[in-house]
Structure 1
Amino acid sequence: MMHIFSMKSKTKQMSISDIPDAPVLYLPLLQHIGQAAKPIVEVGEYVLKYQLIAEETRNLSANIHAPVSGTIKAIELHPLADGTLVETIVLQNDFRNEEITRPAIEVDNLTSDEILAIIKGAGIVGEGGAQFPTFVKYNLLGKKIDTFIVNGTECEPYLTADYALMRDKTEELFRGILLINKVLQAREIVLSIEKQNKELLDIFSPFLSQSEYKNIRVAILPNQYPQGGELQLIKSVTGKELARGVLPKDEGLMVSNVGTIHAVYNALVESKPLTERIITVSGEQSKKSGNYQVKIGTPISHVLEYQNLTNTLDDKQLVLGGPMMGKNVVETSAPIIKGSSGVLFFKKKEIKRNNCISCGYCVDVCPMKLMPLVFAENYRTGKIASLEKYSLNSCIECAACEYICPSDVPLMESIKEGKIKLNALLTHAN
């Protein structure tokens, strides 16, 4: 792991506020790992806020709900931030916010199975970026969890959405932790934060002193990147180094992002499905930086309009997520999805790419102990099959290698495109 510039001061002290709702929302049927959801509405149909509009299809899928009331304008292919076309429900907002009737839930009387069913019904996926369906992750299948790690380690530069959530919605977060632990039954709960955010201890203290939260402790970790990665966090908190391919719950561990936990709280206590999330808007070109609650499906162009910026990429670079692991935006009509943690605005820069000088810096900083320079060379020379031998699919795409590279070798391009070509090759071979 390594130290990188934080750049969080621009938004860290800003409370959570709202961006006005967009007139049209784009709801991709695939905003989670696994299978696309199946639409259960038709074009022209009127829907209410929180209404189920697409159903999960298999275990690795997730429900999708209407963030606002309005009319289904289309069900069509629409781009994600990186230009990938995905079948999408287009919802015309009527700005009435007419809701479905939400049932009152007796939270304290819920069984583990009932909690999992509500999480599944709410369409909750990991908000830390992985977008793994949460009800699948929490389904232990007889396994015992010893340590439940609550991931508040927001290691990406610029992003402060998780920090704002922990500060502004502390009671909801702590209650959500306890509700999830009714399923996990973990002996120990560890809430991890970085040293640069240690002032949160003063906010957590009144809760930690209460008997119901006696099993929760706070771990203050170094300001290192990618400290928030699941395997890296597990090692930092427990000292355990999991082998590649081993699931944390197989080793008695569970890691969950604070945003995911807050979504579970909303589902169980407020009867709200996952239709909005907190994001950070920042970057050197940002005019209204802050931490904002936004509707899932809000197009990036709407955020640009709110920023009083032109809807063009000619003079700026946009990133959906953090600057390290986020996606460069190639289409501004692309929406905020469940795993989007931020929208960052930068000046457009032309980077001169040079040849690899075999310095080995990329190998030194790789948290997965891989060899990014070998990925780049094999991809460049078309030796795609060789990428499997060097465990390309174990790469977590943290971009530490490209950040440290003195020659600006396009390592992430070789990794991301290499994965696509390698997996196509492996699929064809099978």
Structure 2
Amino acid sequence: MMHIFSMKGKTKKKSIRTIEDAPFLYIPISQYLGETPVPGVKAGDKVMKYQQIAVSEKGLSSNVHAPVSGQVLEIKDIEFPDGTSTPCIVIQNDFQETTEKLLYFNTDDLSPEQLLNIIRTNGIVGEGGAQFPTAVKYTLDGHKIDIFIVNGTECEPYLTSDYAVMAERTQELFEGIGFINRILNADSIVISIEEQNKELQKAFAPYLQQAEYRNVRVAILPNEYPQGGELQLIKSVTGKELGRFQRPREAGIIVSNVGTVHAIYEAVKNGRPLISRIITISGEEAAHYGNYEVKIGTPVEHITKSLGLDSGNIRIVLGGPMMGKAVNDPSVPITKGSSGILFLKKEAVKRSNCISCGYCVDVCPMHLMPMKFEENYRKGKYFNLEKYSISSCIECAACEYICPSNVPLIESIKEGKLKLKELANAIQ
């Protein structure tokens, strides 16, 4: 891991605000790389806010809900910045806020199975970026969980949405932790934060003194990147180095992002499905910095217009500067895994040939050889990519950040993965 400039100063202390609802929303049906949920609506249908509009019937998928009331215009494919095409349900907002009745529960009486079902029903996924279905993650299949890690290690530069949740919605976060641990029954719970955010301990202190949170502690980790990656975080907190293909639950560990924990609180306490999330707006070209609650499906172009931001001759990145993706189509929407939108200067990057310095190998948190991905992709030797375990790459971009020659390592990795997928599909 390595130290990089955090660039969080302009948004870290900004209170959470809201962005006005968009007239048209593009709600992705597929939130994860697994099975695609089945649409429950069609063009012309009227929908209510919170209504389930796509159903997870099997596999690694999650339910999808309408963030607003209105009319379904169509279901169409939209190309996302990572190159994948995803079907989206297009809703024209009627701004009437006609709401489907939510289910409320006596939370004290809920069993682990009922809590898990609430998480599943309300479409909760990992908000750290991967969007893995949370109900699947919490299905333990007989495994004993020793430690539950609440990931507040927001190591990407600029991003402070997790910090805002921890600082402003502290009680809701702790209640969410309590609900989750009734499912996991972990012996120990750790909230991980970076050294630069250690002042959060003051916000946590009143709760840590309560008997119901006696097994919760805070781990303060170095300001290193990519400290927040699941495997890297597990090693930092527990000292255990898991194998690339080992599931954390098999080692008695579960990790969830703070945004996910807060979404679970909303689902259990208020019956609210996951229809919005907190994102950070930042970057040197951003006119309005801050942390905003935004509806899932809101197009990037609506956010830029609402905040009076100029999307002209600048580079827009969905996510953080390291793992985020450049936005070419402004109609691309916010997803459950979107953590921010950055407005950065467009800069011509002078690229040179690899000089075999080995820096990319030194900083790779997965102990891979990134220069081999670029070399084999450039030469068209695609099957060699898996020889060097390209599927184990978490695309943290530490290799490209450190490369003195500016070799397009991440582009080669992303395109290489897509090429391998195409070849695999062709063989089938």
The TM tier, using the shorter chain, reads over 0.9
| 1:329 correspondence with 2:327 | yes
Matches within 5 A, 1:4-403: 4-82=4-82, 84-312=84-312, 315-403=313-401
SS in 2 for 1:115: helix
Residues 9-67 of structure 1: CA deviation (Å, up to 9, x unaligned)? 01000010101111110011112231111111121111110000111131201111000
Q: Return the offset for 1:424.
A: 2.9
Equivalent position SS for 1:293: strand
Q: Return 94-103 or 294-303, whichever deviates more.
A: 94-103
- Cα deviation code 1:259-298 (max 9, x no counterpart): 0010110000010000000000000111111000000000
Corresponding residue to 1:405 among 403, 406, 420: 403
Identity of matched residues, %: 60
Aligned equivalents of 2:239, 2:401: Cα separation in 1 = 26
Q: Cα offset for 1:394?
A: 0.4
Q: Identify if the C-alpha distance between structure 1 residues 304 and 253 changes in structure 2 by more than 3 Å, giving closer, same or farther.
A: same
Q: Tell me how far apart the structure 1 counterparts of residues 82 and 245 of structure 2 sit (CA, whole Å).
A: 27
> Partners in 2 of 1:199 and 1:105 — Cα distance?
35
Structure 1 residues 228 and 185: alpha-carbon distance in aligned structure 2, compared to 1, 3 A threshold: same
Query: How far did residue 83 of structure 1 move?
Result: 5.1
Letter of the 1:377 partner, please give it.
E
Question: 1:427 offset after TM fit, Å?
Answer: 4.3
| Aligned-pair CA distance for 1:371 | 0.2
- In structure 2, distance between residues paired with 1:309 and 1:370: 39
Deviation at 1:429, TM superposition (A): 4.3
Q: Aligned partners of 1:427, 1:46: CA distance in 2, in Å? A: 37
Which stretches in structure 1 are left out of the alignment for 5+ residues? none
Distance 1:91 1:282 in 2: 28
Instruction: Quote the offset at 1:311 in angstroms.
Output: 4.7
The answer to whether the 8 A contact 1:82-1:331 is kept is: no
Secondary structure of the 2:256 match is strand
| d(CA) in 1 for partners of 2:85, 2:71 | 22
1:192-240 per-position Cα deviation (integer Å, ceiling 9, x unaligned) = 0000000000110000001010000000000000000000000000000
Contact kept? 2:288, 2:309, Cα under 8 Å: no
- 8 Å CA contact 2:242–2:248 kept in 1: the answer is yes
Letter aligned with residue 416 of structure 1: K
Between stretches 366-375 and 33-42, larger displacement belongs to 33-42
Matched-pair contact (CA < 8 Å) for 1:286–1:307? no
Q: CA deviation at 1:107?
A: 1.1
Q: Distance in 1 between matches of 2:44 and 2:401?
A: 47
What displacement does 1:180 show? 0.3
Moved more, 361-370 or 56-65: 56-65
Secondary structure (helix, strand or coil) at the match of 2:167 reads: helix
> Considering only aligned residues, what root-mean-square deviation do their CA atoms show, in Å?
1.1
In structure 1, how many angstroms separate the alpha carbons of the residues matched to 2:63 and 2:356? Answer: 46
Aligned residue identity for 2:302? H
Q: Distance in 1 between matches of 2:91 and 2:42?
A: 11
Q: Is the 8 A contact 1:115 1:268 kept in 2?
A: yes
C-alpha contact 1:48 1:100 (8 A) present in aligned 2 = yes
Give 1:77 deviation, angstroms.
1.7
CA drift at 1:307: 2.8
Secondary structure of the residue aligned to 1:126 is: coil
Structure 2: distance between partners of 1:208 and 1:310: 44
Tell me the CA shift for residue 106 of structure 1: 1.1
Q: Would you say the 8 A contact 1:82–1:329 is kept in 2? A: no
Shift of 1:244: 1.3
Aligned partners of 2:142 and 2:257: how far apart in 1?
23
State the shift of 1:426 in Å. 3.7
Cα gap change, 1:76 to 1:423, in 2 (>3 Å): closer
* Counterpart residue number, 2:415: 417
CA–CA distance in 1 between the matches of 2:84 and 2:286?
25
Task: State the AA in 2 paired with 1:178.
Answer: G
State the one-letter code of the partner of 2:345.
K
CA distance in 1, matches of 2:269, 2:144: 26
1:293-352 alpha-carbon deviations (Å, 9 max, x no partner) = 00000000011102323454xx11011011100111111100000000000001111111
Secondary structure class of the residue paired with 2:202:
helix
Deviation at 1:425, TM superposition (A): 2.8
**3-state DSSP of counterpart to 1:318:** strand
Quote the offset at 1:80 in angstroms. Answer: 2.2
Equivalenced residues, count: 428
CA distance in 2, matches of 1:57, 1:108: 29
Runs (5+) with no aligned partner, structure 2: none
SS in 1 for 2:262: helix
CA distance in 2, matches of 1:48, 1:428: 41
